[in-house]
Amino acid sequence: MKKAIIIGASSGIGRELALILSEEGYTVGLAARRLHLLEELKNSLSGPSFNKEIDLCDPTSSMNLIEELIAEMGGADLIIIAAGVGSINPDLDWAAERETIDTNVTGFAAAANVAFLHFTRIGRGHLVGISSIAAIRGGRQAPAYNASKAFVSNYLEGLRNRAVKAGAPIAVTDIQPGFVDTKMLKVKRPFWVSSPREAARQIHRAIERKARRAYITKRWVLVAWLFKILPASLYARL
């Protein structure tokens, strides 16, 4: 039986991915800060699962706990890092910026490090990180968020290049969603908003084909293209 770990499984995209993977026959490891939500999710799964309370804001503890979860499950074939935070921060409040950096940068790198080294030891595996369309350019309303997601995408690319150089069959997938209807969505007038279920379905398809990068939903590739070619002087006025 295939085994997957989802870090950030308590809500949103992570929760929906857990349901889908369980339906697909995976043994699922559920990790998040809110253990009671993981217990509720466990009761909704169609197959076996393991729960672990993990807070990426504490990287040393989270690394140890992820390793414990991998050991308890007898290994993992797929590890998805879906945990993340973000907030609109027009006042540039440092507490909000710091939380974003601690979770999305330090915490993400710690989790990805454990996952990649596990796959290196067993000689195979698939690492998936949930980045964002915001990774493409800086954002004045949430500077730390955009920057942190750029870190996620670049860190994943670095790990992918390591696997290629080593000739190891380790897939690394960078998921860049646009607007998804979760608590993370704080934009006043969002467009092309996807449900968490539809986003998870498309992410699952990207995982199945071992895509290097996937925009969720697919139409967001148009926004990504526009962001990449838009002159800085015009982008700053958006």
Q: Check if the beta carbon of residue 170 is closer than 8 Å to that of residue 127.
A: yes
Report which residue type is found at 129.
G
Q: Give the Å distances, CA to CA, from 194 to 49, 131, 213, 220.
A: 27, 16, 18, 11
Q: Check if the beta carbon of residue 166 is closer than 8 Å to that of residue 147.
A: no
CA gap 41, 28 in Å, rounded: 11
145, 155, 215, 235: the catalytic one is: 145
* 145 catalytic per annotation: yes
Q: Where does the chain have alpha helices with state H?
A: 12-23, 35-42, 59-73, 94-101, 108-122, 143-166, 196-208, 220-229, 232-235
Which of 197, 209, 144, 146 shows the shortest CA–CA distance to 176?
146
Backbone φ/ψ region at 72: left (φ over 0), alpha (ψ -120 to 50), beta:
alpha
Q: Which class for 69: exposed (0-12), middle (13-18), buried (19 or more C-beta within 10 A)? A: buried
The two tokens of residue 22 are 């369980």
Residues recognised as catalytic: 145
